[in-house]
Chain A
Amino acid sequence: MFSNVKKDIMFERHFESKTNLSKKLDDNIKFIKSIFEGSNDIVYREFKIGGLDGRRAFLFYVDGMADKILLDNFVITPLMLTARIVKPDYEEIKNRLLEAAQFTAISSSDFKEIKTVEEAIIAALSGDSTLIIDESDSAFVIASRAWPTRGISEPSSETVIRGSRDGFTETMRMNTALVRRRIRDPRFKVCQKHIGVRSKTDIAIMYIDDIVDKRILDELNKRLDNINIDSVIDSGYIQQFIEDRAFTFLPEVQATERPDTVAASIYEGRVAILVDNSPQALIIPVTIQSFLQSPEDYYTKPIIATFTRILRSFAAIISVIAPAFYIAVTSYHQDMIPNKLAISIAASREGVPFPAYMETLIMIIILELLLEAGIRLPRPIGSTIGIVGGLIIGQAAVSAGIVSPIMIIVVAFTAVASFAIPNYEFAASARIMRLIFMLGASIFGLYGIMLVFIGIMIHMVNLKSFGVPYLAPFAPFEKEDMKDSLFYRGPWKSMRKRPIQLNPNDLIRQGKK
């Protein structure tokens, strides 16, 4: 019966073809076994329900992804053994066998009835198991996913002093649970999709129904439905598909491993996306603020939070402009530095063969190499190499006369400031911006820095993330939103409304007592 079903049709993205199960079990078994031909990790189990003369049933799952204990004890045992022992008998029930199996025998709680072969196969490949019973054209999918997972641990790239220490893992269901615990609102929806033609990766779209702006949701769904790639290995793939503009160095989607960040964003009116096999959740829409804020800011007192935010923004600016500024001031505008400093810089540069911009370029390249290498090395060696490498290479370079000591200070300052940026992707963008600023400074000095600044501002001002301008709340100026911005965090009592920039449906988050 299935001989004329081409195998390719099964793997189109939208399941437009639906091959119904046949009432004959043998046909189903043959078809399924032929699909899985060549793989030895699929387990097939045929058995009979209700004694030797009972109805044949067929169960299949993937070894290593399905919980065998659950299947053995709560699916096969009730159907095989218990059905024989406990009344009613097979003979009485055989016309309503399916109903009986579904409602009285199979003891597992998560359970679905399906009618197509595609769904059966996808279910098996996702770790569930499928039970097909003879003489019926429906099958049961029993949720039995169990595989070894990494325990919940603090995400290494987003550590906080104050705040929870749990982070997402690679199992999507555990991740959605972590977020659910923080949003016990029935209007909080977790909506699932499959993306990736061959990978069929589960993704979950999470939002609160009566807060979020529906236009954002629609746009997101539209973009997700447009993805026609065969595999989605990490949330990064999804991120690059749903981004507004590919040709930019600025991140347009926020990726985080922390459930509290995700929950807070959902409360503000954003939408979060969890992708199976990836511990990084995606949050959209995004503004530049999202990359320079840390969850700790909300858990500490307003004055401290404001101070920390100002410091962080200042650090971000310094890490981008400092080397360029050094080049501009020492090569073009020597009258801007005080007398004694100018002499001492000149003295320290006297033996150096390279001009200022070359020296800066060399040091920044060494810095980047150290950073990149530090990621690959195992943890204890990595940090040591960073410090040791920095110090020793710097010192050696100064003694060899390749760079001047002032340069080392500038680069060290830059490196330290760049670690203050909470979001890794934005720090990477900052590195690129730093290089562009250096280029501008080495050609036109301070004027070049200003030109590059204007250029980058023009670029940022043109960016919109799902309709929200990138530079909100500075760009279209919203006074209310400034209470929680890059430089200031107002006390919680004053943050009555959600961010207006996201245009939420329910503006008030805090009522008056």
Chain B
Amino acid sequence: MKKKVFIVLLVFIMIFSSGCWDRVEIEENAFVFGIALDVNKERTEKEDIEKGEIKPFYESDKGAIRTIFTVPIPSKMKEAGEDAFESIEASGENIPSCMRVIERKINKIIYLGQTKMCVFTIDMLNNKQYFMDAVDFLERDPERNRNMKVAAVNGSIDDYIKVKHYLDNNLASYISGIFQVGSKECCIISEDLTELEGTLRSSKGNAVMPCIKITDGKAEVRDLALIKDYEFYQMVDQKYLRGFSIISNKLKKARKLVKYDDTIIPFYITGVKTTVHLEDKENLKYKVTVKVEGDIESFILDEEISKEGKIEEIKSNLAKSLTMELSEVMDYFQNSIGIDYLKIGEYTKKYHNKIYEKYEDNWDEAFKKAQFDFDVNVEIRRIGTIR
């Protein structure tokens, strides 16, 4: 009995004298909702401090990158006012050193576990080393949220911060909300941090990132930023994105306009299924079969759509238009861009590994020379409540 009491006492003393190291009260945490990364333009000369012998200090006030954390103020969030969140800025060599600077300025602990958005400016993407540093940090830290969305900002970061976030009380939820809703309703590519890392690793530095364009203080998600070899390569125009999503089988819903009898009719695509087949193994000829189904959203008021042949005509018009669109998109990617972002290479590797191994080292060349045939099949499912 005495021994038991002794052990229990010992345990209690150990526990209470050592304290709880990890306990952080929830209000001591500054929940970072959005991270914005940019290159520090104030740093004019390239200091190249990483080269040469070991130096005692590597921190400098004029850091290489600028980081802006958007942090909500919990008590003000309830009132949903304009200044419910604060933007905290710092500059440093990489994100952790920025965090160190910030921790001297605010009274809370930076917490990345709830981050929703992480944006990079195009300048940042242009700088290979900073981009790689940032992605590695985000990947390595076990605390941060893996479902964070990433995007590139076409514009300066100060404009990004000042964007009007209507319909939501802070910028990060606003933008990530656009992604969430948009990836379901219209053809916006939404990219998680996980997907970004995955693609970067599996294709040795190639990835895509959606882009946010800022005009007049308003943000719009359009275009796609292509990354090659961990560096920014090119911007893809919005019009190619629908085809891009269809070919990579990521499209959920989108709208396409089609011509019918001198009017333009909107067609709402509700489902797409794309399969790629390698037809000719020697010459890399692919056949892409696309099955589309959707609804007609509006038609000519005084004509009946369910009359004979009208739906058929619309269908064939759509199929023609879509085939041409896809061919043009593929052309664009093959010739103007020249790099396989459409995951054709992955498909080949999975299903025809031997052939892929032949071209493995220079897949992009093979991709450029490959031929694609499109077979589009459109079904119109619903036409609304009017005949």
Q: Which residues in A have some Cβ–Cβ distance to B below 8 Å?
A: 247, 330-332, 334-335, 339, 342-347, 349-350, 352, 355-357, 442-445
Contact = CB atoms under 8 A, between A and B. Distances in A.
Interface in B1-33: 4, 15, 20, 22-27, 29, 31, 33
B114 A331 contact: no
Contacts of B145: 335
B77 interface: yes
B324 to A, nearest CB: 43
A356 B72 CA distance: 21
A349 B26 CA distance: 8
B120 to A, nearest CB: 22
Contacts of B173: 339
B349 to A, nearest CB: 35
Contacts of A344: 74, 77-78
Main DSSP-derived SS at the A contact region:
helix
A332 B22 contact: yes
Nearest to B176: A339
Contact of B75 (A330, A342, A347): A347
B72 A355 contact: no
Contacts of A345: 26
Contacts of B114: 334-335, 339, 342
A350 B25 contact: no
A156 to B, nearest CB: 37
| Smallest CB-CB A-B distances: 8 pairs | A335-B113, A347-B74, A346-B74, A330-B26, A331-B23, A349-B27, A346-B27, A347-B75
A173 B312 CA distance: 92
Contacts of B23: 331-332, 355-357, 442, 445
B82 interface: no
B116 interface: yes
B203 to A, nearest CB: 30
Interface string B265-285: 000000000000000000000
A343 B15 contact: no
Contacts, number: 67
B17 to A, nearest CB: 12
Contacts of B75: 347, 350
Interface of B: 4, 15, 20, 22-27, 29, 31, 33, 72, 74-75, 77-78, 111, 113-114, 116, 143, 145, 173
Given A346-B29, A349-B26, A334 B113 contact: yes
A342 B31 contact: yes
Contacts of B74: 343-344, 346-347, 350
Contacts of A442: 20, 23
B190 to A, nearest CB: 17
B116 to A, nearest CB: 7
Contact of B143 (A335, A347, A350): A335
Contact of B25 (A247, A343, A347, A349): A349
6 contacts: A247-B4, A334-B29, A335-B113, A339-B31, A346-B74, A444-B20
A445 B15 CA distance: 14
Contacts of B31: 334, 339, 342-343, 346
A466 B66 CA distance: 71
A339 B116 contact: yes
B27 A334 contact: no
A448 B116 CA distance: 29
Instruction: Select the residue from A335, A349, A442 with max chain B CB neighbours within 10 A.
Output: A335
A356 B26 CA distance: 8
Contacts of B24: 331-332, 334
B77 A343 contact: yes
B116 A355 contact: no
Nearest to B73: A347
A327 to B, nearest CB: 9
A443 B23 CA distance: 8
A98 to B, nearest CB: 58
Contacts of B20: 442-444
Nearest to B112: A335
Contacts of B15: 443
Nearest to B33: A339
Contacts of A334: 24, 26, 29, 31, 111, 113-114
Contacts of B22: 332, 445
A178 to B, nearest CB: 41
A191 to B, nearest CB: 35
A352 B28 CA distance: 12
A345 B111 CA distance: 15
Given A332-B22, A356-B25, A443-B15, A347 B113 contact: no
A331 B26 contact: yes
B210 to A, nearest CB: 21
A332 B75 CA distance: 21
Contacts of B72: 343
Contacts of A444: 20
Nearest to B108: A346
Given A335-B145, A347-B74, A355 B25 contact: yes
Contacts of A339: 31, 33, 114, 116, 173
A132 B29 CA distance: 88
Contacts of A342: 26, 31, 114
Nearest to B18: A443
Contacts of A443: 15, 20
B99 to A, nearest CB: 17
A372 B15 CA distance: 30
A374 to B, nearest CB: 31
B77 A347 contact: yes
Contacts of B27: 346, 349-350, 352
Contacts of A247: 4
Nearest to A439: B15
A347 B76 CA distance: 8
B78 A347 contact: yes
Nearest to B29: A334
Given A339-B114, A346-B27, 14 more contacts: A331-B25, A334-B26, A335-B114, A335-B145, A339-B33, A339-B173, A342-B31, A343-B31, A343-B72, A347-B77, A350-B27, A350-B75, A356-B23, A356-B26
Nearest to A445: B22
A87 B78 CA distance: 102
Nearest to A333: B113
Nearest to A331: B23
A342 B173 CA distance: 14
A356 B23 CA distance: 9
Contacts of A332: 22-24
A456 to B, nearest CB: 15
